[in-house]
């Protein structure tokens, strides 16, 4: 067996902390003396209910979630929320506002109008205005004050864009609905600035299968009985997240990740580490004399998903092939963009970024 360290740069399902995986391994057949695995445990058992309760409480502590917000662990991935937020929050409203800044917000924009009579208004278009190399400032969002909500994606994994300054709207504006899948728990945010935050677990929390929804309590009043219970936020809240069987094992792993984050010093400490990792990698790209290229405006560069290219398709493919043999895995860019993408979420250690930079320099010496 090779002794070369393996670093997983996948955008999702993504890297998990080694200590979390070791704990899961040790508890696979016998969780906490119960004699059986969480994977085979009744979701209504006292043992699993305790796992769910502590996962929620740890998440609340890490994000400082106010008491007037409910937390749900749902299924369907973040993509299911593109429709679920409209079905629940747009009843009685003529429109919702949509900010498009990259691949995932463009998909959300296209999906949100399919199960609602509300018009999906394009409040800002980063593709039209910036070709997805910069972000439309919040001050330029064309928001209708009478819209049900304003939807945006805070970090675009495909195009490597991130709102460095966390967006906030004035009190007289509609509530913000944020897809925070690829950056949740990577930096401090004020949850009270949002109506809804949702995030698929498989990027910065745990394995795929669980989706976290954080919703302000008063918005549950908009949830109509006409919305089927399985898609109805209020129904899930009223049944303590147990309307149907939740993704028990992903919730268990997510809880272990929350504990790991606490042991690392919490979200504030992770923000410091993530800033260092991103700055180190971008400095290597910018310092390559043009061999490596990142066309994203410096003020909009993602700290989670760093995209770059040599400008030559064949050379990019060779980079991905050779880096794989060095233990630097899944560095290929998104299928429609090509190039390279290094996802450096919370669980990616600084050593992984340094190993990538070392290979980048060597690759440039040989092919530059």
Give per-residue pLDDT as tens, 49-62.
999 999 999 999 99
Q: Which residue has the tokens 């450096």?
A: 344
**Burial, 183: exposed, middle or buried (Cβ in 10 Å; 0-12, 13-18, 19+)?**
buried
pLDDT confidence bin for 141, thresholds 50/70/90 = very high
Q: Give the Å distances, CA to CA, from 156 to 79, 103, 159.
A: 14, 7, 6
Q: Are 15 and 8 in contact (CB under 8 A)?
A: yes
Q: What torsion, rounded to 10 degrees, do the Cα atoms 83, 88, 89, 90 define? A: 70
Model pLDDT, residue 115: 82
* Rounded Cα distance, 228 and 69, in Å: 22
Q: What is the DSSP letter of 236?
A: H
Q: What is the pLDDT of residue 335?
A: 87
Q: What angle do CA 340, 344, 350 make, to 5 degrees?
A: 115
Q: Is 209 left (phi over 0), alpha (psi -120 to 50) or beta?
A: left
- Would you put residue 172 in left (φ > 0), alpha (ψ -120 to 50) or beta? alpha
Q: What angle do CA 139, 100, 133 make, to 5 degrees?
A: 85
Nearest to residue 202, comparing CAs of 240, 145, 157? 157
Are 193 and 66 in contact by the 8 Å Cβ rule? The answer is no
Q: How confident is the model at residue 291 (pLDDT cuts 50, 70, 90)?
A: very high
Average pLDDT across the chain, whole number: 95
C-alpha to C-alpha distance for 279 and 98, rounded to whole angstroms: 30
- Catalytic status, residue 260: no
Q: What pLDDT shows up at residue 116?
A: 82
pLDDT of residue 336 exceeding 90, the answer is: no
Rounded to whole angstroms, how far apart are CA atoms 144 and 86? Answer: 16
Give CA–CA dist 117/94, Å, rounded: 7
Say which residue the tokens 């899961």 belong to: 24
Percentage of the chain surpassing pLDDT 70? 99
The residue-averaged pLDDT of 182-198 equals: 97
175 contacts: CB under 8 Å, gap ≥ 6: 89, 149, 150, 194, 195, 196, 216, 219
Q: Give the three-state DSSP class for 208.
A: coil
- Token code pair at residue 142: 């064309």
- Residue 1, pLDDT score: 46
**Is 294 strand, coil or helix?**
coil
Q: At 113, list the tokens.
A: 């109008």
Active-site annotation holder among 58, 97, 125, 179: 179
> Average pLDDT in the 339-359 region?
98
Q: What tokens does 362 get?
A: 């060597």
The active-site residue, picked from 203, 277, 303, 316, is: 203
State the Cα angle at 261 between 333 and 303, rounded to 5°.
30
Q: Is residue 193 within 8 Å of residue 176, measured between CB atoms?
A: yes
Q: Give the active site residue among 58, 70, 97, 104.
A: 104
**Residue of 172, 246, 262 lying closest to 212 (CA atoms):** 246
Q: Residue 2: what pLDDT?
A: 54
- What stretches of 17-141 show up as alpha helix (H) in DSSP? 18-26, 46-63, 77-89, 103-112, 126-130
Mean pLDDT, rounded, for 195-211? 96
Beta bridge partners of 212: 73, 199
- 274 token code pair: 């993530």
Does 178 sit behind a cis peptide bond, omega within 30 degrees of 0 on the bond before it? no
Q: Is 179 a catalytic residue?
A: yes
8-state DSSP, 345: -
How many degrees, rounded to 5, is the angle at CA 293 between CA 288 and CA 295? 135
């Amino acid at each position: 067996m090779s002794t070369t360290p393996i670093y997983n740069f996948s955008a999702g399902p993504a890297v998990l902390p080694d200590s979390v995986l070791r704990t899961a391994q040790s508890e696979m057949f016998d969780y906490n003396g119960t004699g059986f695995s969480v994977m085979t445990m009744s979701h209504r058992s006292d043992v699993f209910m305790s796992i769910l309760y502590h996962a929620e409480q740890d998440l609340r502590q890490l994000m400082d979630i106010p008491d007037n917000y409910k937390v749900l662990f749902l299924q369907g991935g973040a993509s299911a929320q593109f429709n679920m937020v409209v079905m629940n929050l747009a009843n009685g409203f003529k429109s919702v506002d949509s900010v498009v800044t990259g691949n995932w917000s463009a998909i959300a924009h296209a999906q949100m109008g399919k199960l609602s009579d509300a018009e999906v208004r394009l409040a800002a278009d980063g593709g039209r205005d910036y070709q997805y190399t910069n972000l439309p400032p919040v001050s330029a969002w064309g928001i209708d004050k009478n819209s049900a909500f304003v939807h945006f994606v805070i970090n675009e994994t495909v195009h490597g864009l991130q709102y460095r300054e966390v967006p906030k709207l004035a009190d007289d504006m509609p509530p913000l609905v944020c897809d925070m899948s690829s950056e949740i728990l990577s930096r401090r945010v004020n949850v009270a600035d949002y109506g809804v935050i949702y995030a698929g677990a498989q990027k910065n929390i745990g394995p795929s299968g669980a989706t976290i929804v954080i919703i302000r309590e008063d918005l549950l009043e908009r949830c109509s009985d006409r919305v089927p219970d399985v898609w109805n936020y209020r129904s899930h809240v009223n049944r303590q997240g147990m309307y149907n069987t939740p993704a028990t094992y992903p919730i268990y792993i997510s809880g272990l990740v929350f504990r790991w984050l606490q042991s690392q010093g919490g979200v504030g400490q992770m923000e410091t580490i993530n800033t260092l990792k991103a700055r180190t990698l971008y400095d290597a790209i910018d310092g390559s004399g043009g061999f490596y290229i990142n066309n994203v405006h410096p003020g909009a560069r993602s700290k989670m998903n760093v995209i770059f290219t040599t400008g030559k398709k064949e050379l990019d493919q060779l980079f991905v092939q050779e880096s794989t043999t060095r233990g630097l895995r899944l560095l290929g860019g998104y299928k429609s963009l090509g190039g390279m993408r290094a996802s450096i979420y919370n669980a990616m250690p600084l050593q992984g970024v340094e190993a990538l930079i070392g290979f980048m320099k060597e690759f440039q010496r040989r092919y530059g």
